[in-house]
Amino acid sequence: MVKTIDILKKYWGYDIFRPLQEDIISSVLDGKDTLALLPTGGGKSICFQVPALVKEGLCLVISPLIALMKDQVESLKKKNIPALSIYSGMSFFEVKRTLENAVHGNFKFLYVSPERLETNLFLEYLPGMHINLIAVDEAHCVSQWGYDFRPPYLRIAVLREHLPDTLILALTASATKEVQDDICDKLAFKNDHKRFQKSFERPNLSYSVFSPSSKQNKLIEIFKNVQGSGIVYCKSRKRTKEIAELLKMNNINSDYYHAGLTNTERTTKQESWIKNETRIIACTNAFGMGIDKSNVRTVVHYDVPDALESYYQEAGRAGRDEKKAYAVLLFHQNELDDLEKQSAIRYPPFEEVKNVYKALVNYLQLPSGSGEGIYFDFDINDFVKKFNLNIYTVNYSLKVLEQEEFISYNEQIFLPSTVMFTCDKNHLQEFEKTYPDLEPVIKGLLRSYEGIFDYPSSIYENQLAGFIKKDVAGLKSDLKKLQQFGVIEYHPQKDKPQIQFLRNRISTEDFTINQNNLSKRKIAFEKRLQAMIGYVKTKACRSKTIGNYFNDLAIKPCGICDNCINEKSIVVSKTEFENITMIIEKLTEKVPVHSNLLLKNLNTFKKEKVWKVLNYLQAENKISITGDGLVGKWKGL
């Protein structure tokens, strides 16, 4: 491993690897398919970047996150490591040029979105790329039973047919045992594959859950008591703005962020927070993926998430600098009651999905037998209003249509402006003589964008305006004039929500979905809901509860979460322990009893003391406690 240490030192400036990084890298260099579970901020990228630099050839990195791809490519370039990326919104010419560079250039990394893997253009260039490693980031997306299933990930295994001797390194921050098995299966891992899972212990991160009478007052109290940068996760866009305004009114520097903002607004707000110009960012879960900010002191969830996976990832953005940090969840009982009902809402009946599909193709005026590969601007509020639909039914029906690969729906997609000349060069020369005021724009386009006569080229108005020394508004006006004169075809950038059709429109009579898979996904969702509710209600160590859920069975109690601190303050005398145990054994001798009834029969003791005894007896396998609160003899339930 001497060479890998040298690479780590040369490019990253570190003298040693973090725990498990060296083991994962050794597995890759030994030629083993490898699954690596490293918590958020655990240094996943080094696990494929270092071995890829050791090996000859190009590392293919598959990631669903455009922002993360761009950040990693820029980061590699700053280290003088040549890297490329292909993502949604690039023109045919740009993609082709990138693929040619991957084949003929001296590049070490090619980042691609999973949708690109089966295109004819990509497969045409693949044999010449000399791929030394396939790194699959966010690998949990491959599993239908995971919390973030993305159908294009299922196509990754097809690469094995084209690259049978190339190994795969799959990386994720959170996956249950079932999802881990599914990842290895769906990516066609070989029998001798290796798995590595870092402990879910975060010794510096204190988890706590509160059910305050006023969430607003509790939130203000938290940020008054804990200084430094913070995040507040909210379920709705409206609430992000309300929270930011509430904090500002209390002299706490804050802003809000959600997918409904323009690309420019999102970038500006994100950068301001990263630079500590904004202290607290109130946001939806659209915020945070791929953001490298180590000094976040507090992450508050103002609403209860629907999965422990997403909660763990979001909460884990606190304290990456390994200094004391806090992950706080606020809830009211009615939220837990609403979560119990979510399954029926998230998985609408077949007829409702079918009706939404029918309304969608009519709304977009898509002729039968057409649409494949086309992007459409999509205003969901206008859609539900025109067709008198329920917005929740529409949202979750669109999700089903995504999982069944009818459409791709992205609220955050950014498609840059494109320009292509639609006249020949002789006509263009004549045009410039007639309209000399438009000549600088024409010359700027020709000098900046290769192939602009042959293919639509992505252009960036701000850069082009700077190049020709013109203000952006004036440049856009000139581009529109050129389009009106029939000289160019100009499509301004799109950063509104987009729907892309993955297949041509079919008739309503022929519409069908795999209801068996849909039913299985619904069951998996219900399991995740119960795990999340269990986390909120548990009296056990919260860190241990999270670790156990992700199959980290060796994790020790953290000692710093709210439950561990409460347990330390509760002392049960020997006599109390014996009396409580005797009553529990007597009441559960014949049949299981609900914990509420046990507490009622033990009301002469403090509830916390009874729970401490119950948790001890359960840990010793003397009793068993089910998820819905039934207590009985071990193996007696």
Give per-10-residue mean pLDDT for the chain (637 aa).
84 90 95 91 88 94 83 90 85 85 94 86 92 94 86 87 92 91 94 92 94 95 94 94 96 93 86 95 84 90 94 92 94 92 91 96 93 87 92 91 88 73 88 92 88 79 88 92 91 79 91 91 93 94 94 91 86 89 89 87 87 84 78 65
Q: 563-591: buried (b, 16+ CB within 10 Å) or exposed (e) per residue? A: bbeebeeeebeeebeeebbebbeebbeee
Are 73 and 109 a contacting pair, CB within 8 Å?
A: yes
Question: In whole angstroms, what is the distance from residue 89 CA to residue 375 CA?
Answer: 10
Rounded (to 5) percent helix, strand, coil in the chain? 50, 15, 35
pTM of the model: 0.75
- What is the chain's Cα-based Rg? 28
Looking at residue 636, what is its pLDDT? 44
Question: In whole angstroms, what is the distance from residue 395 CA to residue 403 CA?
Answer: 13
Strand partners, 168: 134
Looking at residue 68, what is its pLDDT? 78
Are 448 and 404 a contacting pair, CB within 8 Å?
A: no
DSSP secondary structure code for residue 509 in this structure: G
Looking at residue 89, what is its pLDDT? 65
List the one residue out of 131, 153, 132, 130 whose CA is nearest residue 141.
153
Looking at residue 563, what is its pLDDT? 92
- The CA distances from residue 617 to 67, 272, 585, in Å, are 49, 51, 10
Q: 162-182: buried (b, 16+ CB within 10 Å) or exposed (e) per residue? A: ebeebbbbbbbbbbbeebbeb
Tokens 């491993």, residue located: 1
Looking at residue 28, what is its pLDDT? 96
Q: Retrieve residue 491's tokens.
A: 């499509």
Residues near 449 by beta carbon (within 8 Å), at least 6 away in sequence: 419, 457, 459
Burial class of residue 335 in the structure, from the number of CB atoms within 10 Å of its CB (0-12 exposed, 13-18 middle, 19+ buried): middle
Looking at residue 504, what is its pLDDT? 94
Residue 574 DSSP SS3: helix
Residue 10 DSSP SS3: helix
Question: In whole angstroms, what is the distance from residue 218 CA to residue 211 CA?
Answer: 9
Question: In whole angstroms, what is the distance from residue 79 CA to residue 84 CA?
Answer: 14
- The CA distances from residue 614 to 373, 502, 566, 578, 618, in Å, are 58, 53, 15, 12, 6
Question: In whole angstroms, what is the distance from residue 110 CA to residue 101 CA?
Answer: 10
Q: 261-284: buried (b, 16+ CB within 10 Å) or exposed (e) per residue? A: bebeebeebbeebeeeebbbbbbb
Q: Retrieve residue 137's tokens.
A: 């980031």
